[in-house]
Amino acid sequence: MGWLSAGKGEAVVMLHSSMSSKSQWGSLMETLRRTHKVVAVDLYGYGEAPFVPREKVDTFTLDDELTLIQRALSENIDDDEPFHLVGHSYGGAVAMHLALVMPERIRSLSLYEPMANHVVREIDDGLYATQKELMGTVIDAIDGGDLKLGASMFVDFFSGQGLFSHLPGEVQEMLAGCVKKMPLDYFASAHQGLRMGRYGNLSAPTCLMAGRQSPDLTFKISQALSEVIPNVDYQLVDAGHMAPLTDGSKVNPIIAAHVRRHTCFH
């Protein structure tokens, strides 16, 4: 099963970052399950979810990611039931896309540095070049069969140089095992057909968080989105891009407060 579900009440659906899984939300689930039904979903290629179907690999988009999420929704939430949506990094980009596809279902949206990679080409040529160079080197490593090198370059860029080498061996192996999906995450969220202006159509009350210690790439995407998304509460957190995993005590209370603020308690 590519999802975890617990608790009762209005549903909160959680989407994880690239190179992660539903388990990253364990602490937040424990907090919210007392008042809500929480559903953490594995995206394609991570956790217990299958890899992208072979026929979809060359044309994979955010719409394809939604097919897996909607399956989890149908198993856990009534078809017309509204829910809160939480997303981090790539999961944040997927969450925004889902909120645009089914706006009538979204009670609230909580985002931590959503990696809507297509935004970079509209805001900063230098960062766009950095992004393309990073992804090119990671993909070259993956294509060359060195999955651990590809994973280390990706992790070190977003979490700090040298971090990967200090992770336990089993964690390094786990990250290397799922790095093949990461380029598909990038291409789906950097799709040429996507434009930043689309997020002006988000109708749910949105809490958008960014880390003061994050790389310029992720921070500036969030900053740009904060100027486009209507009804947004933009908050800076004293942490980095991976704060939902590394600094949950700083991020989770913000998300929980936003969800509860927009919950209809009976």
Q: Do 206 and 83 belong together in one domain?
A: yes
Which of 139, 157, 184 represents a domain boundary (last residue)? Answer: 184
Tell me the one-letter amino acid at 192: Q
CB burial readout 54-64, b (16+ within 10 A) else e = eeeeeebbbeb
Q: Which residues contact 113 (CB under 8 A, 6 or more apart)?
A: 88, 89, 92, 209, 210, 211, 214, 218, 219, 221, 222, 241
Q: Do 135 and 205 belong together in one domain?
A: no
Q: Do 119 and 130 belong together in one domain?
A: no
Residue 252: in which H helix or E strand, if any? Answer: helix 248-261
pLDDT at 248: 95
Q: Do 165 and 206 belong together in one domain?
A: no
Which of 143, 165, 184 represents a domain boundary (last residue)? Answer: 184
Q: Look up the pTM and report it.
A: 0.96
Give the residue numbers spanning the domain of 48: 3-123+193-261
Q: Do 86 and 132 belong together in one domain?
A: no
Q: Do 23 and 86 belong together in one domain?
A: yes
Instruction: Provide the sign of the torsion angle of the four alpha carbons 193, 41, 128, 184, taken in this order.
Output: negative
What is the full per-residue pLDDT of the chain (266 aa) written as tens digits?
699 999 999 999 999 999 999 999 999 999 999 999 999 999 999 999 999 999 999 999 999 999 999 999 999 999 899 999 999 999 999 999 999 999 999 999 999 999 999 999 999 999 999 999 999 999 999 999 999 999 999 999 998 888 999 999 999 999 999 999 999 999 999 998 999 999 999 999 999 999 999 999 999 999 999 999 999 999 999 999 999 999 999 999 999 999 999 998 76
Q: Do 88 and 22 belong together in one domain?
A: yes
Q: Count the domains in the chain.
A: 2
Structure tokens at 233: 């509460």
Q: What are phi and psi of 208, to 5 degrees?
A: -115, 120
Residue 209: in which H helix or E strand, if any? Answer: strand 206-211
Q: What are phi and psi of 122, to 5 degrees?
A: -90, -15
Give the CATH number, domain containing residue 231.
3.40.50.1820
Q: Do 104 and 199 belong together in one domain?
A: yes
